Every structure is written in C-alpha cells, then in structure tokens.
Amino acid sequence: MRSGLEVAERRDTETAKDLAILRAQDLSKVYTSRSGEPVVAVQDVDFEIARGEFIALVGPSGCGKSTTLNLIGGLINRTTGSLVFEGSEVRGPRREIGMMFQAPVLFPWRTTLQNVLLPMDVRGEKRAKHRDRALSLLELVGLTGSADRYPRELSGGMQQRVALARLLLEDPEVFLLDEPFGALDEFTREAMNLELLDIWSGSGKTVLLVTHNIQEAVFLSDRVFVMSPGPGRLTEVLDVDLPRPRRIPMMREQGFQDLVFEVRRVLGAL
Amino acid sequence: MGAAASPPSRAHRGAGRELLGTLRRRSYLLVTVACVVAFFLVWNWLTSSGVLHRIVVPPPGRVIERSREILGEPYFRRHLWVTVKEVVLGYTIGAGSGIVMALVSARFTSFRHLLQPYIVALQSLPKVILLPMIAIWVGGYGETSAMIIVVLVSFFPVYINSLTGLLSADENGLKLLHSLGATPRQAFRMFRIPAALPLLFTGLKTAVNFSVVAAITAELLGARYGLGFMLANSGTFLRIEDLYATVVVVSLFAGLVYAIFELADRKFIFWREDRNRFRSEERER
C-alpha cells in the first residue's frame, strides 16, 4: 500500500511536469564540418519552460540560438541529451510547435490568403473550411483587404505579417520565432513587437524568441536566456520581473535599464 | 520643360516629369520606326537603281507580295505543313521527355547519376552531326530524321533547366515545409515544382527556337519536303523571290511560336523574378 505522503509527492511532480511544456537536459548538437571535423553547435543545454512563458534567447552569432530553436522545432536531431515536449521526446516536426524565420518565406505563386492557408494544405484539409479563420487572422495582423494580393506587391513588414498569420493559423502551443522581425527597419520592428505582445498576452501560448537586440529581449520576455559561443552554451537565465502589459515608456524606468545592463554584463559586452 | 522651370507646385512638377517621360519613351519608338523605314527605303533604292541586281536581291515590295502568294499555293502549304509537323511533334516528344526525366532525376539521385555521363557527352554535341547516322537508321533523309533531330535539340535545354530549377529550390521554403510536417513528396509538389517553373519555361523557350532551326537545317541537308527543302530548292534554281518569300515565312513562323511561348510565360509564370525586377525598375523611374 502506498502512503498518503507518496501520493502527494507524486501529485507534486505531476503538476510540475504539467507546468513545464518544454524540458531540455544535457542537450547537445554536434555537426560534422565539410572537412570532417566535429563542430559543437550546442553543448549541454538545460532548461525548463513553463506553459505560457515568453522566453527571449540572446547571444552573439554562433552561440547556438538558431540551432536550439531548430532542435525544438524538430528540424534537426540532437546528438545527445533529451528534449521533452509535454511528456514525449521531440523526434521531428509536430503540429503543436510552429516556427517563424527571419525571411517571411512566402511562395510567390500563392496569394496572401493562399500563403496563410499553406499549413492546412500540408495537412490535407480543405481550404474552404479554414478560409474564414485565415481572413480574420489577416485582419488581426492588419492586412485586411490584402488577401488576394501576391507577395511581391507587399512590403517587407507586410510579408512578415502574412508569415505571422500563417503561423497563427497553424495554432501551435509553442511559437519558435527565429529573429522574425530582424530584417525590418527599427520602427516597423517595434510596431510588430508590440503587436506580437498583444496577440500573445492572454493566449496561454509559449513563445521562444531569438533576437540580437537586448532591449527587445528584456522588453518582451518573462525570462532571458543568455547564450555564449564556442561551443554554444546556455550561460545564464535572467528573470524579467517587470509588470505586464509592457509599454514603450517602461524602457525609461530604472528596473528595465538595470536588466538590460545585467544582460550586457553576462554577455561580456561591457 | 516650361513646366519644370515654373514655381515648384507639386502637381505641376509631376505633370512636367510625366510629359518628359512620355516624350522620351515616344522618341525611342520614333527612332526605332524611322530606322526600320530607312532600311526598307535603302533596300528598295538599291534594287530599283540597279546597284543590286534583281537576280541577287529582289525589291522588298516583291518579297512581301510573293510571300502572300506563296502562302496560298497548295504546293508551298504542303511543305510548310511538313515542317510544322516535325517541329510540333519533335518538340512535344523532346520537351515532354525532358520534363519527365528532370522530375525523375530530381526525385531519385541514383537515376540522375546514372544519366549524368550521357547528358554531359551529348549536351555540347552539335546534334546535326548525327543526321547522317539517323538517316541510315530511319531509311533516308526526310520527315522522320528531321523530327528526331528536333527531339534531340529540344530535350537538352528543357531537361537541364528543369533539373536546375528543381534542385536549386530555396532552402528556406523547404525548411518551412519541413517545420509544417510536410513529407518530401508534398515538398516536391507544393514547392520544388512551382519554384522550378520559371527556369522550366526558360528551357521551353530556348528549346522551341532550337527546334525550328533544327528542323529546317535537317531539311536543308537532303530532305525532299519541308521549308528547308524549299529554301535549298529555290536557291538551286535561282527562284530568288521564292527564296526570300520562304525566309519571310520561316521568320514569321519562328516569331509566332516564340510569341505564343512568351505570352504563356507571362500568363503562367506571373511571379517571374527577373521580369519583375525589370518592371519595378521601370516603375521607379
């Protein structure tokens, strides 16, 4: 017979398991370079991410941010370690995890609407069934009336909005965003970041955002994962205890600036 | 230009620039037309003044007249039909198998490697030199040998371009489809094939030009039917007007075929990047 204590303990671990949507242990990725030498892209990364968290990944080029994201997205296989999504090992791309890249990656022969509907084409579902939702998502990202336009008729910012609508149509639990607004100008990027926050808040979705921009990382996230190169490691995790909703004027506050300073210190950029 | 010099009212300046642009575009057109007219006038003068003997070069008016006559003659039509048939059939077989082989090659690497040496060996070979061999196989110079040459010349540009297009699909698109859980088969259908269409069409257009040239060359070299035969025959018997008229018909035929493909390209490959780049430059000006 099990004691009451044991049962309570089990419940505790179960709740902890439920809270963590993603868990990585000793996660490593080793590539073989063209000359045949092994290149360690990511080494011994450990983290636990709770459902609904907004995580920012920062670090200089070559620190393994994108590799980490590609591992979670199931685009590449890990060399060692474990990576668990909702209790099961990640072994390939899955519906619950969606990705967005620096390039919008729209197909030029598809209209905006058809591009948004791409995930449903892949699933083999009828476009008509998802048309209304696709249209309302286009409205959400501020592209009302552009449904029948082709990508070449849209600006860079608009193209990235289409990519966002496409990701939202997929409706994943985890959003993996690999510098999605990195190629946009400063103003557009800021506007897109605020929109992203609006869409995310209250959605209960988990976000992992890769960025080069420290201010952006602190402004958006609940926690900042700082990575360092050679080999790529997760060096430090900083909690961002700023109130939500986040608004631009908060960037003037001492608390915000201290955090930005702290990230810089960890990155060794001081 | 008076508008450009006037005080900077915005509408005024815009109108001035537009007018200037229109004038510039019109002037290009004007120069082009003037050159063409001048060419025919000089040609006409050279023949009517006797500088060029009518046996060597007929006057332009006669060439045009004779071209129209010749198109109405059943004898000429029969030869025209032979060439059209060779081109259409040969091209369909050549380009069609080029597309199919490219698809198979792109999908199965081992097949591509197996094919590679033959492709490399045959690609740069001038296909006409195979004509005597082909003639022996099919029992003489004629429609069949010409058609086989057309098959050969139209296969390569289509195969090479389609394959290049299929293999050079953008990594990001494949990454996106992978993340969406698409199978390689789906990625092929939804991305690789449409992404290859612009290059495929370039191949189709190149091949169609080659086809007309190849058919007529093959006919010139010993066939007894077709426009190539007409050219050779008119030359031999010094029917100069027929010779020139045939050249006109061949040019029209080649031009028509090219125009059809160009239109199809514009319609089906509306997203073609090289053309769009040109267009957006035009717009910016």
Residues B149 and B256 in one domain: yes
Residue B6 above 50 pLDDT?
no
Residue where the block lists tokens 């290859």:
B196
Reported ipTM: 0.88
Full domain range(s) for residue B238: 60-284
Residue B165 above 60 pLDDT?
yes
Residue B237 above 80 pLDDT?
yes
% of chain B with per-residue pLDDT over 90: 69
Residues B29 and B106 in one domain: no
Angle among Cα B164, B168, B172 to the nearest 5 degrees reads 165
Residue B71 above 60 pLDDT?
yes
Select the residue of B181, B195, B270 nearest A94 (Cβ to Cβ): B181
Residues B92 and B112 in one domain: yes
CB-CB under 8 Å, A73 with B271: no
Residues B121 and B228 in one domain: yes
pLDDT-derived band at B3 (thresholds 50, 70, 90) equals very low
Chain B residue numbers with beta carbons less than 8 Å from the beta carbon of A153 are: none
Q: How many domains does chain B have?
A: 2
| Average pLDDT over chain A, rounded to an integer | 90
| B180 interfaces chain A, CB cutoff of 8 Å | yes
Tell me the DSSP string of A71-119: HHTTSS--SEEEEEETTEE--S--TTEEEE-SS----TTS-HHHHHTHH
Chain B residue numbers with beta carbons less than 8 Å from the beta carbon of A170 are: 180
Residues B40 and B102 in one domain: no
d(CA A187, CA B98): 49
pLDDT-derived band at B18 (thresholds 50, 70, 90) equals confident
What per-residue confidence (pLDDT) applies to B14?
67
The string of pLDDT tens digits covering residues A156-193 is: 999 999 999 999 999 999 999 999 998 889 998 999 99
CB-CB under 8 Å, B176 with A150: no
% of chain B with per-residue pLDDT over 70: 91
Residues B98 and B175 in one domain: yes
Q: What one-character DSSP code corresponds to residue B272?
A: -
Residue B91 above 60 pLDDT?
yes
Low-confidence ranges of chain A (pLDDT < 50): 1-5, 7-17
Chain A residue numbers with beta carbons less than 8 Å from the beta carbon of B181 are: 92-95, 122-123
| Domain assignment of residue B53, yes or no | no
